[in-house]
A and B are shown apart, each in its own frame.
Chain A
Amino acid sequence: MGRIGEVQAPVATRDALARGRLRASLVPDLLVEARRIVNTVIAGWHGRRKRGIGENFWQFRPYVEGDSSRIDWRRSARDDHTYVRDREWEAAHTVWLWADPSPSMLYKSAGAGVSKESRALVLALALAELLSRSGERIAWPGLTDPFTARNGAERIAAQLSHAGALRAKPDLSAIRRFCDIVLVSDFLDPVEETMAWLDVLARHGVRAHLIEVADPAEETFPYAGRTEFTDPETGDKLTAGRAEMLAEEYRLLYRARREELAAWCKRLGWSYTVNHTDRLASEALVRVHMAMTVEGGHAASIANRAGKAVA
């Protein structure tokens, strides 16, 4: 009697990269909403090498009357002119990408085409490819700091393949606000734990996009008969005498978890996307793409809130 589910070996990152690129090639360039500059939507990085609101120094310029900027008195003190310090317009957005490396992601059921880990990595790398194509800064918590590169996906893939074991739940407190983070995981931990973990993002005002990669077997629970279930992470075992009797209740709980998480995300203005491993990765990619690009009023309201926060 064949098993329904199995634990697969981690996917080769190179392979995932290739597939991710393939997926990414099907999706138009990702234009991440620059929330802080609502009125400018510029693709690419060239247009952003100018003064603007940013954190880094860009230039000193003479103060003209009516200039709303504050005078940089330290510079002005050097000569007779008054100067204003301009900062570089940091329009390039930072998008953090993270795929769950936990063992539970290695699960693949008979009905699914790939393991969850594979799918998650593909999604993350596809996004990385899209974002770097658009000139966004991408980063991987616990792995890299934000960087801008044409070959961002490749660099992340290379780093991932050399990284060794990563922490299951990286520290997200380093992510500053106005960043986006894409979290690809199965979110099978209890909702409370997940919320507690992601709460720091909410507090920092990070916009998160949660992609739940779900295996069809996890959702439909096709098990029957006397079955011993093993948790791939903890190794816990549970034996069900008549597994089919549990299916109904399990499905309810499983769905309740997802709905609770989704509702929480919605409340925070985050997106929550479910991708089944027996479906195409592109579906999730398109949905996240939609969520990350400008979305009318919703995005504007977020921008307003951000503006206020700046003020």
Chain B
Amino acid sequence: MSWLPLSFGAPMVLWGLLALPVIWWLLRLTPPKPQTEVFPPLRILARVLRREETPQQSPWWLTLLRLLMAALVVMALAEPVFNPREKLPAEGAALALVIDNGWATAADWGKRVATAERLIGDAGSNGVPVVIAFTAEKPNAEIGPFDASAALDHLRAAKPRPVPTDRPAVYARVAAALERLPGASVAVLADGLAAKGDDAAFKMLLEKNAARLVWATSDRTSLTGLIGADNQVDGFALTAIRAPGDPAPAQVTAGAFDDKGRRIADATLTFAPGEASATATMTVPFELRNDFASIALDGEHQAGAVRVLDESSKRRRVGLLSQAEADQAQPLLSPLYYIRRALQPFADLVEPSSADLADAIPQLLDQKPAMIIMADVGTIPEQVKQRLVDWVDKGGTLVRFAGPRLAAAGNDDDLLPVRLRSGERALGGALSWTTPQAVTEFPKNGPFADLSPPSEVMVSRQVLAEPTPDIVERTWATLADGTPLVTGMKKDKGTLVLFHVTPEATWSNLPISGTFVEMLRRVVQLSRNQGAAIANAEATAASLAPYRMIGADGMLTPPSPDARPLVPGAGPLPVTLENPPGLYGSETGVFAHNLLNASSTFAPLTRPQVSLPVTAIPYAFDESENLKGPLVAMALLLMVLDTLAVFWMGGLLARRPRRVAAATTMAILVVLGGLFGHADLARADDSKPGDAQAIEDISKTRIAYVITGEPGVDSISRAGLEGLTRFLIEKTALEPGPPAGVDIAKDELSFFPLIYWPIDATAPMPSQAAIARIDAYMQQGGTVLFDTRDQFSNGIGAGSASPATERLRDILANLNVPPLEPVPSDHVLTKSFFILPEFPGRFNGSPLWVEASLEASNTENRPVRTGDGVSPIMITANDFAGAWAVDESGDPMLPTVPPDPMQRVYALRAGVNIMMYMLTGNYKSDQVHVPVLLERLGQ
């Protein structure tokens, strides 16, 4: 089967396929077992059957199905493997795996592990020990020899490291380990990058004791690394490299991230065909560039494609020096005022605390500023001048402004870009022929070349440079008459700049023009920070603690326990496992330690020329697939088909279609149910006892009465409310339900707008809890109508009270009763349905007490007083229920006192008014004002 990527683990089993014809013959001869049936009219059937050709053989397709099934089983037993991989030849006394796990392996580490796993697996099946070593691990890491499973554990524990490999040291250890295992197969899983000492390392590894070399390498090193990220004047210059000799063009995108990991800029680097390096400029505003914390190449998950940035590529620190301290009172005349205003947005301004230059300059230099601006500083003290010169030589930018002091101070070759004539030159003025000069086009060689000359700037006074041969190239800006306005020169690594005018608007109006800001900005961008700010904090600290490390996958991570403090010193710092790339320092200032430096290249690793047999294998995931499972599954599927076919032929499906269909549906449902979980049929049953009662109570408005426990009182209450209900139905639009008796200790009260409470002295006193419920009911908007029914049984005299009244007082003592008053004549109760002057019940004469409407006013003599709310309490002694009470036939049950039929009518009307008041509140009191309101509206 060479044309198929298929191989068999046990090809001998395939001979079993020869049995297929036998199976075919057997299958052809063996029909399916019939269903046996007793059948008395067999003789009749026999006459029919004689003519029918009994199928003695299975149908051909069933035979084919079964043959296929048998063939599949045979094939499955032969352990077929699709896409088989080459096995490591079973020779050699041991397997030595040397695996590069440097930064370059991070991107395809999985493949490398898979390759190594295969090798270890083969070694395990060959039963040879395995030496496994990683080239970017600590030098004391265990390398074996292990047995295969331990080696696998080591392999799985290993991870790529964000550091370069150290082949010589590790290979030496492996070679030492192989001393005891001569004739080992050496498998080199290299990262494809050449490093120093490779030749010697390979020689050491392969010279002795190696019987065979397995060389695993990727086809091509597809790494891209970022070797430079430089904050320049107009953008961030990026340099990326790739392995040389790649004929295809390539494009990578670099992204810049701030310290929170947010992407704030990107740029595309294009590798020309065959080129190994590419550059690009990330053109973003200077302010934004200051926020860059790291730059990474997209899609490259390895440490080489990430550069962290430290202070040296950030906001410039600018030191300001002036000798005119006295000018503080007049800020606009302060020489540094305009400079400060101009630089504040894009530079850190540093000012010395001392006015004495001898103190001030060292103070400034200690802050390692990128630039120092001196506003009209004449002579610089000798003791600090050398430090300043050194600072400039190392890259500092010194910007000086002219002024009377400078003009008087004379020349300073070290710290001025040009020689100056002593004294200043005045342009214009009463005694001068000249006029103030404008600024012309900026010279092309200066940093201001792309600025347009400010037409509004006029220079009336300046210091003049001595004409020298190089004056032209040092001139950054000139006046219209050709004299330099700004001169500058490179001095060693640093820059000296001189503005030939003062930094305030006395000599010219340049400092108050927008061009001044732009010019200063260009100069600032030219400057370079002179070291990290940590210098001032722990300037003398010997080492920097690890702060943020670049992980092997290119992510910034907290430092690992292996990371050691970085000792800054002369020369490039090596990237080691102790000092992995990343940021060192602390939050206040960091030092960037990057994996690649500007001179890095990706030299490809070549296979060492050795006399050993060499097997080259690619890095790849194991793609071989064991087909045993799928084949068995197919055979099982065919078996199911066969079963169904036999059922069909046996007539099961035809004989009991409905039952089979139902059973099939059932089975499918059961399976589906099993698959998709069981539907949660149990719905929360939130019904509670008493729901029906509650629904009944709130479906209709019902008037409630308190069940006192005295049967006579309760029956009269019920009959009374029944009578009132009838009257309401008869006279009003309100159709209440049957009256509800409530037990105030237990029943829910909030369903009822009004609770009628006949006070009976003989009834048991309600419990405190019940009274608290009543209180809550009243607070929540309910109304209780207390009826003492003792209008005529009160004792004579103010102090005397009937037992019912006493009881009422007892009850009310525990309630929050508002101030009460008898219903005033303009209360809405008197108008809510019928106009009623009084509220008689069975008795007449007792006032109806309601909550005193204290705030209510009736200033304009309206029919009803205004006021909000419904009284939560009403007290009467007139025995309303007695007057309302009717029996089944609607006849009054109790006589009124005095027996006046109209009094009963009035009592019922009082009940109607109370109910209406309950349900409509002060609506009626507003309603009676409608004519007045309409009149006001002019209707």
Query: Contact partner of A226 among B35, B39, B45, CB < 8 A?
Result: B35
- Establish whether residues B39 and A229, one from each chain, have CB atoms under 8 Å apart when the complex forms: yes
Whole-angstrom distance between the alpha carbons of A234 and B52 in the complex? 22
Query: Contact partner of A227 among B43, B55, B651, CB < 8 A?
Result: B651
- Establish whether residues A246 and B44, one from each chain, have CB atoms under 8 Å apart when the complex forms: no
| Also in contact, A227 and B34, with CB within 8 A (given A1-B650, A222-B655, A249-B48) | yes
> What is the distance, in angstroms, from A225's C-beta to the closest C-beta of chain B?
2
Whole-angstrom distance between the alpha carbons of A234 and B46 in the complex? 13
Whole-angstrom distance between the alpha carbons of A26 and B110 in the complex? 92
- Establish whether residues B37 and A230, one from each chain, have CB atoms under 8 Å apart when the complex forms: yes
> What is the distance, in angstroms, from B61's C-beta to the closest C-beta of chain A?
15
The chain A residue sitting closest to B648, CB to CB, is A225
Pick from B32, B44, B49, B654 the residue with the most CB of A within 10 Å: B44
> What is the distance, in angstroms, from A218's C-beta to the closest C-beta of chain B?
5
Interface bits B28-44 vs A (CB < 8 Å: 1, else 0): 00011111111111111
Task: Decide if A199 is an interface residue (CB 8 Å cutoff).
Answer: no
- Establish whether residues B44 and A254, one from each chain, have CB atoms under 8 Å apart when the complex forms: yes
Q: Which chain B residues numbered 613 to 661 have a C-beta less than 8 Å away from chain A?
A: 649-652, 654-655
Q: Which chain A residues numbered 214 to 271 have a C-beta less than 8 Å away from chain B?
A: 215, 218, 222-234, 236, 238-246, 249-250, 253-254, 257
Task: Decide if A296 is an interface residue (CB 8 Å cutoff).
Answer: no
Interface size for B (C-beta < 8 A) is: 31
Enumerate chain B residues within 8 angstroms of A107, measured Cβ to Cβ.
38-40
Enumerate chain A residues within 8 angstroms of B31, measured Cβ to Cβ.
226, 241
> What is the distance, in angstroms, from B57's C-beta to the closest C-beta of chain A?
10
Enumerate chain B residues within 8 angstroms of A104, measured Cβ to Cβ.
40
Interface bits B93-121 vs A (CB < 8 Å: 1, else 0): 00000000000000000000000000000
The chain B residue sitting closest to A102, CB to CB, is B40
Task: Decide if B2 is an interface residue (CB 8 Å cutoff).
Answer: no
Enumerate chain B residues within 8 angstroms of A190, measured Cβ to Cβ.
43
Query: Contact partner of A223 among B37, B40, B43, B649, CB < 8 A?
Result: B37
| Also in contact, A227 and B35, with CB within 8 A (given A1-B650, A238-B42, A243-B651) | yes
Task: Decide if B341 is an interface residue (CB 8 Å cutoff).
Answer: no
- Establish whether residues A226 and B650, one from each chain, have CB atoms under 8 Å apart when the complex forms: yes
The chain A residue sitting closest to B56, CB to CB, is A241
- Establish whether residues B48 and A230, one from each chain, have CB atoms under 8 Å apart when the complex forms: no
Q: Which chain A residues numbered 172 to 226 have a C-beta less than 8 Å away from chain B?
A: 186, 188-190, 215, 218, 222-226
The chain B residue sitting closest to A222, CB to CB, is B655
Interface of B is mostly: mixed
Query: Contact partner of B649 among A4, A225, A239, CB < 8 A?
Result: A225
Task: Decide if B47 is an interface residue (CB 8 Å cutoff).
Answer: yes
- Establish whether residues B37 and A239, one from each chain, have CB atoms under 8 Å apart when the complex forms: no
Q: Which chain A residues numbered 65 to 116 have a C-beta less than 8 Å away from chain B?
A: 104-105, 107, 116
Task: Decide if B54 is an interface residue (CB 8 Å cutoff).
Answer: yes
- Establish whether residues A246 and B35, one from each chain, have CB atoms under 8 Å apart when the complex forms: no
Enumerate chain B residues within 8 angstroms of A230, measured Cβ to Cβ.
36-39, 42
- Establish whether residues B651 and A224, one from each chain, have CB atoms under 8 Å apart when the complex forms: yes
Task: Decide if A5 is an interface residue (CB 8 Å cutoff).
Answer: yes
> What is the distance, in angstroms, from B151's C-beta to the closest C-beta of chain A?
59
The chain B residue sitting closest to A221, CB to CB, is B45
Whole-angstrom distance between the alpha carbons of A4 and B36 in the complex? 9
Enumerate chain B residues within 8 angstroms of A254, measured Cβ to Cβ.
41, 44
Enumerate chain A residues within 8 angstroms of B41, measured Cβ to Cβ.
186, 188, 218, 250, 254
Enumerate chain B residues within 8 angstroms of A227, measured Cβ to Cβ.
34-37, 651
Enumerate chain A residues within 8 angstroms of B38, measured Cβ to Cβ.
3, 5-7, 107, 229-230, 232
> What is the distance, in angstroms, from A261's C-beta to the closest C-beta of chain B?
12
Query: Contact partner of B655 among A186, A215, A225, A228, CB < 8 A?
Result: A225
Whole-angstrom distance between the alpha carbons of A103 and B630 in the complex? 55
The chain B residue sitting closest to A250, CB to CB, is B48
- Establish whether residues A1 and B48, one from each chain, have CB atoms under 8 Å apart when the complex forms: no
Q: Which chain B residues numbered 392 to 448 have a C-beta less than 8 Å away from chain A?
A: none
- Establish whether residues A240 and B52, one from each chain, have CB atoms under 8 Å apart when the complex forms: yes
| Also in contact, A238 and B49, with CB within 8 A (given A190-B43, A223-B651, A227-B651) | yes
The chain B residue sitting closest to A223, CB to CB, is B37
- What would be 5 A-B contacts, judged by CB atoms less than 8 Å apart? A107-B39, A228-B36, A240-B52, A241-B54, A257-B44
Binding site for B on A (CB under 8 A): 1, 3-7, 104-105, 107, 116, 186, 188-190, 215, 218, 222-234, 236, 238-246, 249-250, 253-254, 257
The 3 A-B pairs with the shortest beta carbon distances in the complex, nearest first, are A225-B651, A224-B651, A231-B42
Can you add 5 more A-B contacts, CB < 8 Å, to A188-B44, A240-B34, A240-B45?
Answer: A228-B36, A229-B38, A231-B42, A234-B42, A241-B52
Binding site for A on B (CB under 8 A): 31-49, 51-56, 649-652, 654-655
